[in-house]
Amino acid sequence: MQGPEKTLLSIRPSRIIVLRYYVGIIFLLIATFSLWFFNYLLPSTSVIGREALRNAGSGFLLFLAVLLWLIAEYKRASTRYEVTDFRVIRREGILRRTETVVPYRQLERVQMHQGIIDRVLGIGTLVIDTGDDTVQIASVRDPKKVEEAIMSRMQVLQANR
């Protein structure tokens, strides 16, 4: 950050951004419960019994579900958006960091995208256009507030020119 720069907003995306991981977790849990309730359909051999096969399969599926949950939370927690006095910053990653900085003087427009489900959940995606590139601020809560913060700073900078 620059010397007198103040952070106006610091936000993370909502969990909707990793919805596909949560859907996968639900399917894995359904498969795990199916192993327990339909145990009689599992093959039984002399080497390994139904119970051992059920337990091993359930353990593996639960391990995959926990792994998906950890990946989803890592992806969500490692993304951060900051709106400051002079710029918009998108940071991604914990171990390997990527930072995209867009100064307000480069901004041409800010678009807000909200589908029906997004409006019901109170989330949205902002697309910040610089003319050469675009930066997405995806799945943030109260996107109108974020858009207003960015637009108000753009107006202040344009008035000072």
Nearest to 102 by CA among 130, 127, 80: 130
User: DSSP per residue over 81-101, as a string?
Assistant: EEEESSEEEEEE-SSS-EEEE
Q: What is the pLDDT of residues 28-42, one digit of tens each?
A: 999 999 988 887 777
13, 139 Cβ separation under 8 angstroms? yes
Neighbours of 9 (CB within 10 A): 16
Q: What is the pLDDT of residues 101-160, one digit of tens each?
A: 998 888 888 999 998 988 888 899 999 988 888 889 988 988 999 898 888 888 777 777
107, 133 Cβ separation under 8 angstroms? no
The model's pTM is 0.72
The pair of structure tokens assigned to 13 is 């995306």
> From the DSSP assignment, how many helices (H) and strands (E) are in the chain?
4, 7
Q: What is the pLDDT of residues 8-62, one digit of tens each?
A: 889 988 888 888 999 999 999 999 999 888 877 777 776 777 788 888 889 999 9
Query: What percentage of the chain reaches a pLDDT higher than 90?
Result: 33
